[in-house]
A = this chain, B = another copy of it.
Amino acid sequence: MLREPDCIFCKLVAAEIPAAVVYENDALIAFLDNGPLADGHLLITPREHFERLSDVPPDTCALLARAMPLLVRAMSEVVSSPGCNVLLNDGKVAGQEVPHVHFHLIPRRENDSLGYRWSAQTYAEGRAASIAMAYQKAIREAID
């Protein structure tokens, strides 16, 4: 199993530093973010060290998400939140602070001043079709 000696989440997985763990299995641990954006804010991280989402084996990524319905049901029960955001910051430019991939589960309420900065654009004529074709090509080449 990949492990990075100086990684805070690897230490946390190994119980070398304390964490408020709420759920764990062979693939992952889920624990309270100790700098929460809201009461009950959870993190889900693989036991194994991967820095970026693109590094994570598909089956490991699947196992992380497999726990989400269970965790969001527990969240709505424990902190009575009517909604939540699932968020993964992939790369420093995207806000990733700990270089060990992790999903945030952030409880949401009315007027909580959280959320994503939303400023939707529109595609110029033909642009969406050309990007979609480029995606299809990249994905086909990756799968082949």
Contacts of A63 in B (CB 8 A): 62
A48 at the binding interface (Cβ < 8 Å): no
- Chain A contact residues, majority secondary structure: mixed
Residues in A16-61 with C-beta less than 8 Å from chain B: 20-23, 31-32, 34-40, 42, 53-59, 61
CB <8 Å contact, B108 and A93 = yes
Size of A's binding interface in residues, CB under 8 A? 82
Given contact pairs A22-B139, A83-B92, A90-B84, A32 touches B131 in the complex (Cβ within 8 A): yes
What is the minimal beta-carbon distance from A3 to any residue of chain B, in angstroms? Answer: 20
A132 at the binding interface (Cβ < 8 Å): yes
CB <8 Å contact, B138 and A77 = yes
CB <8 Å contact, A70 and B139 = yes
Contacts of A122 in B (CB 8 A): 34-35
A68 at the binding interface (Cβ < 8 Å): yes
What is the minimal beta-carbon distance from A115 to any residue of chain B, in angstroms? Answer: 5
Given contact pairs A70-B142, A85-B90, A120-B36, A115 touches B129 in the complex (Cβ within 8 A): no
Chain A interface (Cβ within 8 Å of chain B)? 20-23, 31-32, 34-40, 42, 53-59, 61-79, 82-96, 103, 108-110, 113-123, 127-129, 131-132, 134-136, 138-139, 142-143
